[in-house]
């Protein structure tokens, strides 16, 4: 058996939990997954998870595994706790770090999923070698992980990086957080669906018979189906003008918000990560155009807007594993 | 002669340059000032400045003076250069660090004035012991220095912290930077004067004879005098309703912008510094109210809004002197 140095990365999502045992150079040597809903009690969940990982762990000496890194929604690096996470089976305050430490008998670090993605990009992905960058995760909501001077910006209580909850429109869309006009109500999988529905309703109200009305999205909407983000993406790829307009509006709102963030943190690059970012040029072009158009002179043509350098599932495991090295 | 450890702090403003020789515990042992317009050539200016400081320097052994810190508008920590600074006698790119190093024969660090203020507050002022805070300087414009994880957030090219140039109102007021709706067009000494003029013009247009019209500001404005920020402050102190309204509107815009910044960097405190901050509760109350009203739940009642812990002139010298320790 070779003497080696490894960490365990665990990415806990609302639906699935992915884990990997990862070498220092970023190779996932063992991996697996478990439905997060496996257990209603978080202690039972971590016991089941350990049971699944244990055969792989037993292939190594205990001192070869240097630590565990866990990424999970609404989870705080400083306190080690998950707090009121939406879409999770565990409610209220869950002491993730304490539970995992006692079950794995290893040092455990925890953080939220966007921060884990930022660590993953910095260690193994598109931000390798960068000291100042931002990862924007575009999933059901909009998360962000900010790295400055080569360090994750955690903030005073470990709650920095809530770019999705900056207000971009006074009296704008109602947000799940109880306020109005948050960026994530426009720029996220759910936000883009809201934009689609708004535009479709507006068209209906106009009651014209112009050619746009025969588009893919209109047909879907007429059938009273729920529109999903991936359908808007597919419609745009097939040239549907309304779907393209939806991406343009979404990118414009994101680009304007990013221009303001650049004035505050001046990153070398902004990395778009997650489902919506897979739309590629459909989203990147209007975002970059709006960002550049709204930047202060001295920042123009300086900030790269780039896609994630990692496969999504891999990225989250690698990010968590990299966090494990902080142990 | 006692063996000691000192730095020289030099704060270069558009009008005056203040300097001090400062002990490690923050005592200004010698101080002086020189009109910045003394010389059209920056090399001549630094020679004149050195000539003024030299008698104080000569009281110490050369190795007791550990370095020089310089704060100046539009000056970059990374490059050492001042770049296209408005209101300065020197145009274009001025290699401040290089010039000062050769004349003082000491290690020199430079940064912009807002960053110097942040270092001053952290080392000797209201942010002593804090690792995450923001200093907002409210002068002719609006500057900001952001500290995260105990370090100044310089950004990739040393240009972070331009909070004054985040856009807070689409198609808002024209800014000196060529764009529209920048925060500093509303929240600064010049911004508050613009608000006053707008409100006074609006009143004129209404052409009523209500009691507000007899206020202090109206009288000043009728005499066709240029209104200045300190007059609005004095009018508000004397109970003038229009002047109070001006502070309320200014604070509301600042508070909303700060709520967005909190979501990004989650500071322990935000320190208001400079002329406009001297208005005290007139500005702090509406700012705090608007910030709290626009904060995400998890940040509410967590972020302190406090005045500078230093006298303005002292603060800038101390901030620059503290920068000198990085030498």
**The domain spanning residue B239 has which CATH number?**
3.30.420.40
Find the helix packing angle between B189-206 and B229-237, rounded to 10°: 70
Q: Which residues of B touch A270 (CB under 8 A)?
A: none
Same domain flag for A68 and A84 = yes
Domain for residue A1, yes or no? Answer: no
Cβ atoms of B251 and B286 within 8 Å: the answer is yes
Same domain flag for B104 and B148 = no
CB contact under 8 A, A265 and B155: yes
Phi, then psi, of B67 in degrees rounded to 5 = 170, 175
Q: Which residues of B touch A184 (CB under 8 A)?
A: none
Domain for residue A217, yes or no? Answer: yes
Q: Is the dihedral of CA B287, B288, B292, B298 positive or negative?
A: positive
Cβ atoms of A306 and A134 within 8 Å: the answer is no
Residues 6+ apart with CB under 8 A from B4: B23, B60, B64
Same domain flag for B115 and B152 = no
Same domain flag for B176 and B269 = yes
Same domain flag for A164 and A246 = yes
From CA A121, how far away is CA A318, in angstroms rounded?
9
Domain for residue A191, yes or no? Answer: yes
Strand partners, A71: A11, A111
Nearest residue to B237 via CA among B224, B228, B223, B247: B247
Same domain flag for A139 and A231 = yes
Same domain flag for B190 and B292 = yes
CB contact under 8 A, B178 and A256: no
How many of the other CB atoms lie within 10 Å of CB of B31? 16
pLDDT over 70 at A1, yes or no? no
Is any Cβ of chain A less than 8 angstroms from the Cβ of B302? Answer: yes
Cβ atoms of B301 and A157 within 8 Å: the answer is no
Going by pLDDT thresholds of 50, 70 and 90, the confidence category of residue A156 is very high
From CA B80, how far away is CA B82, in angstroms rounded?
7
Q: Which residues of B touch A263 (CB under 8 A)?
A: 162-163, 165-166
Same domain flag for B95 and B134 = no
Domain for residue B245, yes or no? Answer: yes
Residues 6+ apart with CB under 8 A from B61: B1, B3
Please give the residue that has the higher pLDDT: either B44 or A202: B44
- Average pLDDT in the A4-32 region? 93
Task: Report pLDDT for B140.
Answer: 85
Residue B42's domain comprises 6-121+313-324
Alpha-carbon gap: B155 to the closest alpha carbon of chain A (Å): 5
Q: What is the ipTM of this complex?
A: 0.90
Domain for residue B223, yes or no? Answer: yes
From CA A130, how far away is CA A270, in angstroms rounded?
11
Domain for residue B155, yes or no? Answer: yes
Same domain flag for A158 and A108 = no
Q: Which residues of A touch B266 (CB under 8 A)?
A: 154-162
Chain A interface, best mutation among B296, B297, B304, B306, by max A CB count within 10 A: B296
Is any Cβ of chain A less than 8 angstroms from the Cβ of B299? Answer: yes
CB contact under 8 A, B163 and A263: yes
Phi, then psi, of A20 in degrees rounded to 5 = -155, 150
pLDDT in tens, A28-45: 999 999 999 999 999 999
Going by pLDDT thresholds of 50, 70 and 90, the confidence category of residue A234 is very high
From CA B8, how far away is CA B3, in angstroms rounded?
16
DSSP for residue B167? B
Q: Searching chain B, which residue's CA lies closest to the CA of residue A270?
A: B156
DSSP for residue A90? S
Same domain flag for A70 and A103 = yes
> For residue B146, what are its two tokens?
């952001």
Q: Searching chain A, which residue's CA lies closest to the CA of residue B74?
A: A298
Same domain flag for A65 and A176 = no
Same domain flag for A208 and A317 = no
CB contact under 8 A, B160 and A149: no
Cβ atoms of A167 and B259 within 8 Å: the answer is yes
- Based on the structure, what is the number of domains in chain B? 2
Is any Cβ of chain A less than 8 angstroms from the Cβ of B156? Answer: yes
Domain for residue B1, yes or no? Answer: no
Q: Give Rg (Cα) of chain B.
A: 21
pTM, to two decimals: 0.91
CB contact under 8 A, A159 and B264: no
Per-residue pLDDT tens, chain B, 327 aa: give them: 456 799 999 999 888 999 999 999 899 999 999 999 999 999 999 999 999 999 999 999 888 999 999 999 889 999 999 988 877 888 889 999 999 999 999 999 999 989 999 999 999 899 999 999 999 999 888 999 999 999 999 999 999 999 999 999 999 999 988 999 999 999 999 999 999 999 998 877 665 545 445 677 877 777 667 889 999 999 999 999 999 999 999 999 999 999 999 999 999 999 999 889 999 999 999 999 999 999 999 899 999 999 998 877 788 899 999 999 876
CA distances from A308 to A15, A110, B32 (A): 22, 22, 53
Domain for residue A54, yes or no? Answer: yes
Closest in B146, B153, B263 to A162, CB measured: B263
């Amino acid at each position: 058996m070779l003497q080696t140095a490894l960490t365990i990365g665990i990415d806990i999502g609302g639906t699935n939990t992915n884990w990997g045992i990862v070498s220092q150079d970023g190779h996932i040597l063992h991996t697996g997954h478990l439905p997060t809903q496996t257990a209603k009690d978080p202690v039972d969940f971590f016991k089941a998870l350990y049971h699944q990982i244990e055969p792989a762990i037993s292939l190594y000496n205990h001192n070869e595994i240097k630590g565990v890194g866990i990424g999970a929604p609404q989870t705080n690096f400083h306190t080690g706790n998950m707090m009121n996470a939406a879409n999770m089976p565990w409610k209220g305050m869950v002491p993730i770090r304490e539970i995992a430490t006692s079950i794995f008998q290893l040092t455990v670090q925890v953080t939220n999923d966007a921060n884990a993605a930022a660590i993953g990009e910095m260690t193994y992905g598109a931000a390798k070698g960068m000291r100042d960058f931002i990862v924007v995760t575009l999933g059901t909501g909009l998360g962000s992980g900010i790295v400055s001077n080569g360090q994750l910006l955690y903030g005073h209580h470990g709650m920095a990086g809530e770019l999705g909850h900056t207000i971009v429109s006074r009296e704008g869309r109602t947000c799940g957080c109880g306020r109005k006009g948050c960026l994530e109500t426009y720029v996220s999988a759910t936000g883009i669906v809201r934009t689609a529905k708004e535009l479709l309703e507006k068209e209906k109200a106009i009651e014209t018979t112009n050619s746009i009305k025969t588009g893919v999205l209109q047909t879907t909407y007429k059938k009273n189906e729920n529109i999903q983000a991936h359908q808007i993406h597919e419609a745009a790829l097939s040239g549907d003008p309304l779907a393209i307009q939806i991406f343009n509006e979404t990118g414009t709102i994101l680009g304007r918000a990013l221009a303001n963030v650049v004035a505050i943190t001046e990153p070398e690059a902004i990395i778009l990560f997650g489902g919506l970012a897979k739309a590629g040029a459909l989203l990147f072009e209007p975002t970059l155009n709006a960002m550049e158009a709204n930047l202060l002179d001295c920042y123009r043509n300086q900030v790269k807007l780039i896609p994630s350098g990692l496969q999504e599932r891999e990225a989250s495991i690698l990010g968590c594993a990299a966090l494990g090295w902080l142990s």
